């Protein structure tokens, strides 16, 4: 087991919630050193309702060490939320400066703040002086251009951040194209803080190429590929893939996850809709995944969903090694 690298579970809103994190931990073990939660939006006012923080309730989160994430462009709202999180026992909070969705970015949140270094500077000035915990930042290279980050680095460097997580794309790129590794190299060389690499770690080979290229980086964040191939973090930590019976293991994980969503989400459509979302990633690891994805998306009830999934795992699934 490699102990020289730290693996981070990326926040994937709609996927890596507490139910997923706990179930993943039970089935695949303690492979993540940190999990950053999907973002919690800041709200007006001085009081945060406990239900607003349900995903990070400590009693629901005994799996991986957790860093809760905040989406906000308002320093006061951020501070109120960070204090509430800190009262729950969290020692580090992450600020989302990467969300690319235009509804959010157009309002100057997530990656929408990246073209405004002075605003980021002013927010950091206020929050770093007031929050009772450490601050980590998750950013993209920019919103419109990968050059935006060069104006931001001197600002990030002036504040006592615990780390800088860099998804090496721009906001307008969304999840398309490839991460800009050249810029990531330049930016990580400029950082005074530990840097976490994020973007398209899809296999042991792609990880090895990145690790070989960025020798000073030892923190790596993985998102979509954890869903596509839940064995990947374990394989990366082991440095090899000796895992057997992957289909049977995936079935057990899938069934337990589905069972949990049936218990916590109301109405028959909710659990199956949630699982259909997962299948758009799960399917990528199977030779016949595309065909199956179409089939599972057509299921209309919990029993039909379970029957179709059972047949896939028991008779049709061929894991891509
Ligand atoms: C469905 C989805 C939801 C996401 N939700 C969040 C989020 O809540 N906060 C965040 O910082 N990033 C979020 N991201 C971005 C990921 O954390 C990550 O930066 C991105 O997927 C690149 O990493 P990957 O190539 O390993 O997936 C999301 C991405 C996807 C595809």
Distance CA 29, CA 202 (A): 19
Same-domain check for residues 214 and 277 = no
Q: Looking at ligand 1, which residue's alpha carbon is closest to its atom 4?
A: 12
Q: Which of 214, 238, 262 is the last residue of a domain?
A: 238
Residue 53 covered by a domain: yes
- Cα 159 to ligand 1 centroid, rounded to whole Å: 25
Residue with tokens 């009772």: 132
CATH number of the domain at 201, please: 3.20.20.70
Choice from 10, 18, 104 to test ligand 1 binding pocket (greatest atom count within 8 A of CB): 10
Same-domain check for residues 267 and 205 = no
Total domains in the fold of the chain: 2
Q: What is the mean pLDDT of residues 245-264?
A: 97
- Cα 312 to ligand 1 centroid, rounded to whole Å: 28
Range of the domain at 304: 246-316
Choice from 223, 229, 276, 279 to test ligand 1 binding pocket (greatest atom count within 8 A of CB): 223
- Cα 223 to ligand 1 centroid, rounded to whole Å: 6
Q: Looking at ligand 1, which residue's alpha carbon is closest to its atom 19?
A: 167
Distance CA 34, CA 16 (A): 13
- Cα 9 to ligand 1 centroid, rounded to whole Å: 10
**Tens digits of per-residue pLDDT, 48-66?**
999 999 999 999 999 999 9
Q: What is the mean pLDDT of residues 1-7?
A: 88
Residue 1 covered by a domain: no
Question: Which residues form the pocket of ligand 1, taking CB atoms under 6 Å from any ligand atom?
Answer: 10-14, 38-39, 69, 96, 98, 138, 167, 175, 198-201, 222-225
Q: Which of 37, 29, 94 is nearest to 61 (CA)?
A: 37
Same-domain check for residues 145 and 199 = yes
Same-domain check for residues 231 and 263 = no
pLDDT for position 307: 98
CA-96 nearest atom, ligand 1: 11
pLDDT for position 2: 78
Q: Looking at ligand 1, which residue's alpha carbon is closest to its atom 2?
A: 12
- pTM of the predicted model as reported, rounded to 2 decimal places: 0.98
Choice from 9, 12, 176 to test ligand 1 binding pocket (greatest atom count within 8 A of CB): 12
Distance CA 13, CA 61 (A): 16
Neighbouring CB atoms inside 10 A of 26's CB total 13
Give long-range contacts, CB 8 A cutoff, 24+ apart: 20-24. Answer: 20/257, 21/61, 21/63, 21/64, 21/66, 22/60, 22/61, 22/62, 22/63, 23/253, 23/256, 23/257, 23/260, 24/63, 24/226, 24/230, 24/253
Q: Which of 228, 176, 218, 221 is nearest to 199 (CA)?
A: 221
**Tens digits of per-residue pLDDT, 166-180?**
999 999 999 999 999
Same-domain check for residues 312 and 198 = no
Same-domain check for residues 215 and 252 = no
- Cα 167 to ligand 1 centroid, rounded to whole Å: 9
**Tens digits of per-residue pLDDT, 259-309?**
999 999 988 889 999 999 999 999 999 999 999 999 999 999 999 999 999
pLDDT for position 269: 84
């Amino acid at each position: 087991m490699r102990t020289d690298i730290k693996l981070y579970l990326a926040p994937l809103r709609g996927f890596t919630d507490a139910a997923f994190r706990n179930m993943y931990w039970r089935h695949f073990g303690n492979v993540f050193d940190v999990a950053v939660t999907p973002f919690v939006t800041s709200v007006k006012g001085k009081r945060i309702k406990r239900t607003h923080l349900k995903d990070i309730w400590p009693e629901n989160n005994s799996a991986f060490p957790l860093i809760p994430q905040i989406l906000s462009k308002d320093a006061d709202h951020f501070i109120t939320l960070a204090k509430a999180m800190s009262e729950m026992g969290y020692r580090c909070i992450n600020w989302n400066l990467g969300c690319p969705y235009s509804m959010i970015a157009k309002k100057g949140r997530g990656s929408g703040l990246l073209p405004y270094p002075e605003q980021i500077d002013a927010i950091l000035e206020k929050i770093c002086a007031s929050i009772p915990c450490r601050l980590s930042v998750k950013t993209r290279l920019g919103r419109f251009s990968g050059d935006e980050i060069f104006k931001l680095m001197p600002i990030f460097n002036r504040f006592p951040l615990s780390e800088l997580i860099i998804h090496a794309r721009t906001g307008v790129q969304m999840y398309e194209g490839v991460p800009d590794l050249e810029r990531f190299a330049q930016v990580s060389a400029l950082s005074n803080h530990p840097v976490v690499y994020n973007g398209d770690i899809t296999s042991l080979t792609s990880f090895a190429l990145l690790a070989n290229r960025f020798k000073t980086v030892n923190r790596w964040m993985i998102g979509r590929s954890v869903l596509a191939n839940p064995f990947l973090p374990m394989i990366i930590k082991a440095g090899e893939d000796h895992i057997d019976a992957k289909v049977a293991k995936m079935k057990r994980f899938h069934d337990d996850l589905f069972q949990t969503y049936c218990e916590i989400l109301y109405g028959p459509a909710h659990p199956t809709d949630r699982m259909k979302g997962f299948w758009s990633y799960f399917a990528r690891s199977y030779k016949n995944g595309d065909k199956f994805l179409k089939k599972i998306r057509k299921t209309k009830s919990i029993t039909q969903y379970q029957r179709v999934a059972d047949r896939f795992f028991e008779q049709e699934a061929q894991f891509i090694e």
